[in-house]
Amino acid sequence: MTVNAEILNGKLNELSEIIDVATSKLTEGNIPAAMQNFFKAIELKRRIAVLRAEVRLSSTGDKSRNISNAFKTSLEKIEMKFTELRRLTRQMIANDLWVPLYS
């Protein structure tokens, strides 16, 4: 159980870093790299959901609640980052800074 919780925490940190890179690339105007990282983040978020279910199934009582609360807090922070990334993307599209890969 502890191993799964540690893996989960590591994946959350990795997801946070990927979103930060995507936001940075988007701000720099490197749209392809930003989108590549954005899609990586989405896939990692799916894997985290599966891992979270495994951690929940393998933990009991207070440990389960503590892990669940910590995960929820981390996930809320990540959702805020996703929201900011989506806002930046919409802003770039609105300002005609979005350059499609295939014109």
Higher pLDDT, 14 or 58: 14
pLDDT digits (tens, 9 = 90+) for 21-58: 988 988 888 888 888 888 888 888 888 888 777 766 56
pLDDT digits (tens, 9 = 90+) for 68-98: 677 778 778 888 888 888 888 788 778 776 6
Q: Indicate whether this model's pTM tops 0.75.
A: no
Tell me whether residue 73 is in a domain: yes
Tell me whether residue 37 is in a domain: yes
Tell me whether residue 63 is in a domain: yes
pLDDT at residue 102 is higher than 60: no
Helix (H) or strand (E) holding 43: helix 31-58
The pLDDT value given to residue 84: 84
The total number of structural domains in the chain stands at 1
The pLDDT value given to residue 65: 67
Q: Which domain holds residue 50?
A: 2-94
pLDDT at residue 60 is higher than 80: no
The pLDDT value given to residue 59: 59
Tell me whether residue 103 is in a domain: no
Tell me whether residue 102 is in a domain: no
Burial classification of residue 77, based on how many CB atoms lie within 10 Å of its CB (0-12 exposed, 13-18 middle, 19 or more buried): exposed
Spatial separation of the C-alpha atoms in residues 49 and 62, rounded to whole Å: 20
Tell me whether residue 99 is in a domain: no
